[in-house]
Every structure is written in C-alpha cells, then in structure tokens.
Chains A and B, each alone.
Chain A
Amino acid sequence: MAMAIVLVLLVVGTVAFHYFSPWWFTPLASNWEMVDQTVDLTFWVTGAVFVVVNLFMAWTVVRYRHRAGHRAHFEPENKKLEWWLTILTSLGIVAMLAPGLTVWAKFVTVPDNAGVVEVLGQQWSWSYRFPGDDGKLGTTDTRLISLDNPFGMNPQDPAGRDDRLVAGSELRLPLDKPVRVVLRSKDVLHQFAVPQFRVKMDMVPGMITQFWLTPTRTGRFDALCEQLCGLPHFAMRGRVVVAEATEFADWLAQQPTYTQVLAQTAGDPVAGQALYAVCSACHGQEGEGNRELNAPKLSGQGGWYLAKQLKAYKDGVRGNRDDDVYAKQMAPFATTLADDAAIRDVVAYIGSLPERPTPATIKGNAGRGKALYSSCAACHGGLGQGLWATGAPRISRMSDWYLAQQLRNFRQGIRGGHAQDFAGSQMASMSKALADDRAIDDLLSYVHPL
C-alpha cells in the first residue's frame, strides 16, 4: 500500500513541480519559437504517458497485492493488447518526431538574406568579426594567430581588409535581421550559447560550424560556454546585445577594420617618458612600485595588460566604485592619457624600464599554495609569467601585497563586477576557490618567487 501511495504522490508531485517550479524557459529573444513549441508538445505527449502508466502501476500494486488464497492470472501473452500498445506508441513517436524534423529542416536552411558574424572562441573568451561592405569574411588560418593578429587573418586576402574586428567579449546584433553565426575555435572545443536564443552550436578547432537566428527582442543576454573547455570553463563569459538597426550600425562603425588594425603603430617610448612623469610620483622612477602609496610594481608587466587596464580606468570600467579606494585614486590619472596612442606610448616606456626583483612581503605556506595555484596556472601560466592569450597578467615577482589586495577585492565583489569587465568577472569566479585570507597568503607565497 505504501508503495502505491508513494507512486501516486511522486506522480502528483512531479506534475505539481512542473507547474509551480520557478524555472522555465527564459523569455525568447529569437525567431525560434518553433523550438519551444516542439518542447511543449513533447511535454504533453510524454507527460500523459508518465501519468497514465505510473498511475496504472500504482493501481495495480493495490489491486493485485498479495492476499491469502489468491493466485496470479496465468497469461503468457496477449497479442492483441501488445499490438495495440505498439501501434499507439508508434503514433505518439510520429507525433513528436514529425514536427521535430520539420523544425530541423528550417534550422539547416539559412535564409538567403541573412547577415553573417563570426564568433572566434579561445580559452577562455570570445571575440567577433563582421564582414565589411563586401559582405564577405576574409580567410583566416590558425597558424597565423599571434599577439598582433589574434584573429589569424590572412594579410594577403583583400576580402579581409574591411572586416571589422571586435576584440571584447560583447557582441552586438541588429534587431529583426536574420544572421548566420559562423563559429571558429583557436584551441579546444567551445560552445557559443545564449539561452534566450534557444539555438547554439559547438565551436571546433580545425572546422567552421554555424547556426542561424533572427533576434526578435532588444536587450542584453549572457553568452555562456556549454562545452567543457578546460578549468576556467565555468568562468568563460560573453554577452550579446541586441540593438535597433541604427544603433547597431553606429556601434559597428566604431569597431576597427583589419586595415586600421594593421596601420596601428607601435608606441613611442620617448613620447611615453614625458607622459610617465605623472605616474612616477607613485609608481616610482623605474616603475618599481611603492607600497606606502599603494602603487603596484609596473616594470616587467605585460604591455598588453597595462594598456588594457589603462583603458579600463579611462572608460570607468575600473576605479568607479567608492569601496575600491586605491583604484578610484588611479582613475583620474588614467584620464591624463588623451588617446590610445598615448596609452601605447606610455606602455612602451614602461616596457623599456629595467626590472628589479621586488622582495616578498607575505608569508604563508608555499606548499599549500602550490596546490592552490594549480587552478590559476591554466591562465597565468605555470611560472606565473602571465599569458596575453588568456588575458592573464604576470603575477610572479610582482607586488605581492597588491595581488593580495586585489584577490580580496575580487572575492568580495569589489573588483570584477562591472558589466564590461569580462576578465574581471572570470577572476571573481575563480577567486571564490580561495576560501580565506590564509589561502591567499599561501598562494602568493608560492607564486611570488616563481
């Protein structure tokens, strides 16, 4: 009897959970309402079978429970009943499969008027590329990828000259325009998934994959990686902003073309020296840092990282919060750098400064820190040397007190919470693995001397 009651309760509970749980599809933002409909249909068909068969079983358990003197009915088979059940089941299957395949036929047929955007995946971020006026993406080759050519663009291909390159993790798409999303990966499998769009596809190195959709609603949507791509997989984040056509066009026009990227000159250290005068007051003549003034060491840090942070300060992505006291102090200094060229110059000057070892100020259990560091090494490198490819700065033999402060900020949500700070958000996620200040000390005492 208990068995029958529990079966009934589980059936009722399951149906109740279906209707009352707070979780259902996110509000749709693409043309794929047909996908939702096939899911709904599947719920109805399978739900009916689930309820009927289980309730029948519950009834059976009560009705045919063992009673003294009773015997089971001997009936090896019942061809008629079995055939009926087979036919009914087959009909149910067809009812689900036919609409499913019909929608799939639409999925595999990209409309002729669809625009195109390329999503390029790497460990652990995305970047994007739009074709220029020719409507064609230039050819690429993984082997051409480098710090100066992160997309692996083929410099010989004229079709690529006018391609617009979006280096950040935020993609914009125009409203109500079908778009073919072409996917590429530099290293391992990734997936570009926006739950509100419903459709998604893996990105496979060595292959080009695709899917298509028409955004039907403006807004900001999280893009997630849904194919395990290494240790920081869970922190690989991006965003799609669906905008009105004109707003989209304005944004796209601001993105540099490949020609413009090629034309960018390297920074001039001589010009940078003059600009650095402001910085030296706190960071020191040789960029050695000054703990009393809460200014970290700069010399030896990757130029690409310094440039990125300076831009973040300038754009208000960093140093915009009252509780991030020292970053807030830094922000006005960054604004003294007039443009990207100025940033490149000052970074070039910092790159020319001699690097001197900086003493460790933190004492912890380096052995324990070594175990903790295994998760960090994925991005920051085995020696803490920093990797431009993963967007991770150098952390060995830099100002350890500063790193400790930043780790605490990440963990407490003081840093890494800005909507445009994708790397910061990754770091905020990763820093959660450090349970307390002792773990931070252990970690840094291992990292510092590497």
Chain B
Amino acid sequence: MAYVGAIADLDHEHALHDPQTFFRKYIWSQDHKVIALQYMAVAIAIGLVALTMSVLMRLQLGFPNSFSFIDPQEYYQYITMHGMIMVIYLLTALFLGGFGNYLIPLMCGSRDMVFPYLNMISFWVYLLAVLVLVAGLFVPGGPTGAGWTLYPPQAILPGTPGATWGILLMLASLAIFIVAFTMGGLNYVTTVLQARCRGMTLMRMPLSVWGIFSASILGLLAFPALFVSAIMMTLDSTIGTSFFMPAIVSRGETLDYGGGSPLLFQHLFWFFGHPEVYIVALPAFGIVSDLLSTHARRNIFGYRMMVWAILAIACLSFVVWAHHMYVSGMNPYFGFFFATTTLIIAVPTAIKVYNWVLTLWRGDIHLTVPMLFAIGFIFTFINGGLTGLFLGNVTVDVPLSGTYFVVAHFHMVMGVSPILVVFGALYHWYPKITGRMFNETLGKLHFWVTFVGAYSIFLPMHYMGILGVPRRYYAYSNSIEFIPLSVQTANQWISVVAMIVAATQLVFLFNVAWSFFKGQIVDGNPWRATSLEWQTPETPPRHGNWGPKLPVVHRWAYDYSVPGAPQDFVPQNVPATEVPMGHDHDSAPQSSATKGRHA
C-alpha cells in the first residue's frame, strides 16, 4: 500500500497551538471533543423540546376533551415536530456530530479531525438549523403540521397547520442541517480513512468507528435527496412551480398547479428516509458492540462478520426505500422487488443480533449501567427488528400500514433502541469526558424505568394496530364501531407510563450535572477497556489528545480475557512483545507495528 501522509503521522510538524482564551477553547473551538459536546448539548436540548411535545400528545390521546390548549392544529404540529426533531436533530446529530466527533479521533489515535475548522463551522451551522426550526414555533400559523414526512400536496396547502410560514422554515432548516452534516460527514469519513495512527488498520478499528464511518457515508449519499426535495417543495410553495403538485381543487378553488407528482416527493423522501434509519442505527450497532464487549470482558463475537454485516446493511439500505410506499399508489409491481430486498436486509441484521448475544455467552458479564442499557437495547431491537419483517413483507404490510402497528414498530426500532444505546454510551464514556464517575444508583433507576416503561408503552400499540386503530388521529370518535372502549383505557395507561418515563429523564440530566461536580474522580480507564480512547495520557484528554507522541497500535480492539495475559484486557497500543496477541486478522505475516498504511 502506498504511503499516505496524513496529519496524524506528522508528530513533529504538527505544532499543537493550544487555544489560550476561554472563547477559543470552549465556544469558537476547533477541538473535536468540545465540538462533540456542543453537538450533544444542543441535540439533547432540542430533544427535550420534542420529548415535551410527546407528553402533550399523550395528554391528548389519553385524556381527550380535557385540555383546551391542545386542539387539532397543535396536535398535528406536535407530531410533526416531535418526529422530525427526534430523527434528525436529536439522533442523527447526536450519533454523528456528538459521538462521531468525540470518538473517531480518539479511537483512531488521531489528534483531531482532519479539517478542524470545517468541523467547527459544521456545529455552528447545525445550531443555525436548530434555531430556524425553533423559529417555526413563533411565526404566524405556527410550525408545520404536515407529519414528519412532509408529504405534498397537503404540506403546502391550506387545511394543514403551518402551510405557509411553518413549512418554509422547516424546509429551510432541513437544508441548513444538511449543509452542516455534509461538512461534518466529509470530516468523519476523511479522518477515518486518512488520519488513523500507525498500526490502526481498518480491520482493527473498534466497531463504534465502523458504525459511525458507514453511517457518515450513508448520510453523504442520502441527504442530498432530501436537500433537493426541500428546495423543490420550497419552489412549489413560493413561486408556484409544480414539481410535486398536480392539478388540484383545494377546498373548492382550482389552483394554478399542474403536472407534478406527489409520488416523486415520496420516492425522494424515502430514498433519503430509509438510509436515514441506518444513519441512526449503524452508529448504535457499532457503539453497543463495544459496550457489550467491554462490560462482558469478552471479544466481540465474529468481528469480521460484524464489519461485513455493517457494510452489507449500508449497501442494501439504498435499495429498500419503497417499502415505505407499498400502499402509496406507486406501481404495485415494485412490491415484489422491495419486499425481497427488505427481507434480505434482515439477514445481516440478524447476524449482528446473534453476535451480540454470543458476545455475552461465555463472557464475564458485569451488569454496569452501560451494560444494562446495552442488554436493554438488544431486547427492544429484537422486538423492533422482528416487527420490521411484518411491515417489510408487502402483503403483511397492507393491513398494518397507517395503523399504530407502524408507530409501535418504528418507535421500538428507531426510537427506544437507539436511545438506549445513546444513554449506555453516555454513561460509558462519561468518565472519559469528565474524569468523574456518574452516580450508579441514579443510573440504574434511570435504566429500569426507561427500559421497562418504554417497552410497556409501545408493546400494546402493536395490537391496537392489528385491530386497525389508525395513527395520526387527534381523537377517536365513539362512532367508529370497531374500536372498543378498551383502546381508550389503554391509551390512558400508556399516557401515564409515558409521563413517568419522560420525567425519569430528568434523573439522567441531574445525574450528569451532579456527577460533573461531585462524582467520584476516576483514572483514565475505569472500565479496563482496550480501545485507544481509554489510553490517553490525560483524562479528560487535552487538546491534541495524545501529548507529544501519537500512540501506535499493535492489535485489534477486542483482546479481552486473552489466555495467558496478566489482566483480562490488553489495550490496543500494547506491543505483542509485552503481551501475546490474542487474535488479530491483520497480524501475520508482518509485525503489527509496521503494518497498515505504512506497509
């Protein structure tokens, strides 16, 4: 392999100009760790807004006719904003902007992202996107209530809340977000490819990096589809083009539109939207693999298979999008193709699940807080993944589409599961980020209520969906004969549990804040983990991460409980001469220190 001169190699030429002022250090900062925390803080803040909206929705569904401040217009605005914020502004930003930023350079043994300035701008543009989104709450007519999928024509026609200002701000915010993501995503991909330290071959990278890396590539390829649809819909709405608008008689008035196709938008949206599911899922897959391995003191089972599964899922995720559209009115023959591709994607996904469970099997399981969240994730992900086999299989989807089964499925697989990983990851890396340990009792309380509570919220919804209870209904009229009273009773219970779970998130916030000042001070590697971020000379790592010399990697990230080793973990930067190699796909025939990009 040809020599590639990346900045990580240039130890001596890379002068570490530590920022001196408070402003340059913590606000206008180019340090990937500060940017990561900025991303996390903003994502969690806007996520709390979306969480509040879900509580308001649950108030309406559980106790209809009781709250005059939740009328249909507001309800539809809440469902729209809740969905969009959770998927894009919370999960995508948190996994890639937050964990991607924090972990990639530390896990790959780099000093920073390869384009630190661009990285900084990425955050500020993201913040702008969030502010534009929030501005939608204050414009005449309020934010859009078109549902998070923003389907035209209704998104820009009267009869839908926020069809004038709200939708334009939403589209503008999305476009700005994509600009921010593109700057960040290029950085993540380039850093992984170009700035790994000596010895860090691709097949030695922790799966967290693999997950975030693949998700960033997905994002770079998928977000442009959303970007163009946002621009086209903006033009339809403002200057009267007809990209998505056929001839329409809206509330008795013949509009000037004609010739456009609402289905074109749906194809573009889901061409982005389905990879988006994996933009959120792949980092979660990667991170949870590392949590499981570390806290079970066992190598991740089938590492190579795990990497190939991530890549297979990433590729397949681009050819399954129309499974969101089986009953959209598209040519029904598409159903054969998309059902097949969708069910094929279940195979690599199932392999990942097996390998997680098999990592626990014959392990030395420490039920730490991160581990609890990781096991909780496996459980909810199995559930959510399996219900995906219903909705992906075209015939089975038809009666279930548009019902609460769909709500239950995507919340379980895309809401609860990744969020459990987010929490597990935040607890896992908290001691690295702050140098202090979180309060374990509060962490466990947070886990149990969130895990059991969230499962109890969404399990019954599957069965409501099978009954045929439609989603996106502000209220269920008593005159709908097939919906029994028990659905209303269940909705009340669900709402109560949802509010308890929502309130429990305050315990998490309190824990994060309290432990920052009062938590027990810990050394740099409290979990006794192998990957590089735990081997930094200082904790929290300083600007430049590694002090004067970059680490050199000698082994894969999963040398846990290696027979004959003095401890049950061998960090990646320990040479084979000191502790024998447990296992390494890239060790033979050369000595590991010279292998990799320098060979």
Name the distance in Å between A318's Cβ and chain B's nearest Cβ: 16
A338 at the A/B interface (Cβ < 8 Å)?
no
Q: Are B582 and A39 within 8 A (Cβ)?
A: no
A183 at the A/B interface (Cβ < 8 Å)?
yes
Name the distance in Å between B327's Cβ and chain A's nearest Cβ: 5
Roughly how many angstroms separate A97 CA and B248 CA in the complex, as a whole number?
38
Across the interface, A100 reaches (CB within 8 A) one of B339, B452, B486, namely B339
Q: Are B357 and A435 within 8 A (Cβ)?
A: no
**Which residues of B have CB within 8 Å of A195?**
399, 467-468, 482
B299 at the A/B interface (Cβ < 8 Å)?
yes
User: Using an 8 Å CB-CB cutoff, how does the interface string of A97-113 with B read, 1 for contact, 0 for none?
Assistant: 10111011101100000
Q: List, sorted by A's number, 30 A–B pairs whose CB atoms are closer than 8 Å.
A: A14-B383, A21-B460, A25-B467, A42-B390, A46-B387, A64-B364, A71-B364, A72-B362, A73-B561, A74-B562, A76-B582, A76-B583, A77-B304, A90-B347, A96-B389, A97-B343, A108-B332, A183-B329, A187-B157, A198-B399, A200-B401, A204-B329, A222-B481, A226-B402, A234-B472, A374-B71, A374-B73, A374-B161, A425-B477, A429-B477
B138 at the A/B interface (Cβ < 8 Å)?
no
**Which residues of B have CB within 8 Å of A388?**
252
**Which residues of A in the span 63-84 have a Cβ within 8 Å of any Cβ on B?**
64-67, 70-78, 81-82
Q: Are A203 and B472 within 8 A (Cβ)?
A: no
Q: Are B248 and A100 within 8 A (Cβ)?
A: no
Q: Are A100 and B481 within 8 A (Cβ)?
A: no
Roughly how many angstroms separate A78 CA and B259 CA in the complex, as a whole number?
57
Q: Are A230 and B160 within 8 A (Cβ)?
A: yes
**Beyond A101-B339, A207-B329, is A72–B351 a contact (Cβ under 8 Å)?**
no
User: Using an 8 Å CB-CB cutoff, how does the interface string of A1-14 with B read, 1 for contact, 0 for none?
Assistant: 00100110010011
**Which residues of B in the span 197-254 have a Cβ within 8 Å of any Cβ on A?**
246-254
Give the total number of A-B pairs whose CB atoms are below 8 A apart. Answer: 393
Across the interface, B302 reaches (CB within 8 A) one of A21, A61, A82, A101, namely A82
**Which residues of A have CB within 8 Å of B302?**
76-78, 82
Q: Which of B28-36, B93-101, B145-153 contacts A (4 or more CB under 8 A)?
A: B145-153
**Which residues of A have CB within 8 Å of B361?**
56, 60, 64
Q: Are A189 and B262 within 8 A (Cβ)?
A: yes
User: Using an 8 Å CB-CB cutoff, how does the interface string of A360-395 with B read, 1 for contact, 0 for none?
Assistant: 000000000000101100100110000111100000
Roughly how many angstroms separate A189 CA and B360 CA in the complex, as a whole number?
48
Q: Are A372 and B71 within 8 A (Cβ)?
A: yes
User: Using an 8 Å CB-CB cutoff, how does the interface string of B31-74 with A read, 1 for contact, 0 for none?
Assistant: 00000000000000000000000000000000011111011110
B598 at the A/B interface (Cβ < 8 Å)?
no
Across the interface, B329 reaches (CB within 8 A) one of A54, A209, A230, A389, namely A209
The total of chain B residues at the interface (CB under 8 A) is 129
Q: Which residues of A contact B (CB under 8 A)?
A: 3, 6-7, 10, 13-14, 17-18, 21-26, 34-36, 38-39, 42, 45-46, 49-50, 53-54, 56-57, 60-61, 64-67, 70-78, 81-82, 85-86, 89-90, 93, 96-97, 99-101, 103-105, 107-108, 122-123, 141-143, 145, 147, 152, 183, 186-189, 191, 193, 195-196, 198-207, 209, 220, 222, 224-235, 237, 372, 374-375, 378, 381-382, 387-390, 411, 413, 417, 419, 425, 428-430, 432-436, 439
Across the interface, B362 reaches (CB within 8 A) one of A34, A75, A77, A419, namely A75
Q: Are B249 and A186 within 8 A (Cβ)?
A: yes
Q: Are A186 and B346 within 8 A (Cβ)?
A: no
Q: Which residues of B contact A (CB under 8 A)?
A: 64-68, 70-73, 76, 141-142, 145-147, 151, 153-154, 157-161, 246-254, 258-263, 296-299, 301-305, 327-329, 332-333, 335-336, 339-340, 343-344, 346-347, 350-351, 353-355, 357-358, 360-367, 372, 375, 378-379, 382-383, 386-387, 389-390, 393-396, 398-403, 448, 452, 455, 459-460, 463-464, 466-468, 470-482, 484, 486-487, 558, 560-563, 568, 582-583
**Beyond A90-B347, A231-B161, is A207–B246 a contact (Cβ under 8 Å)?**
yes
Q: Are B402 and A378 within 8 A (Cβ)?
A: no
Interface centre among A76, A147, A200 (most CB of B within 10 A): A76
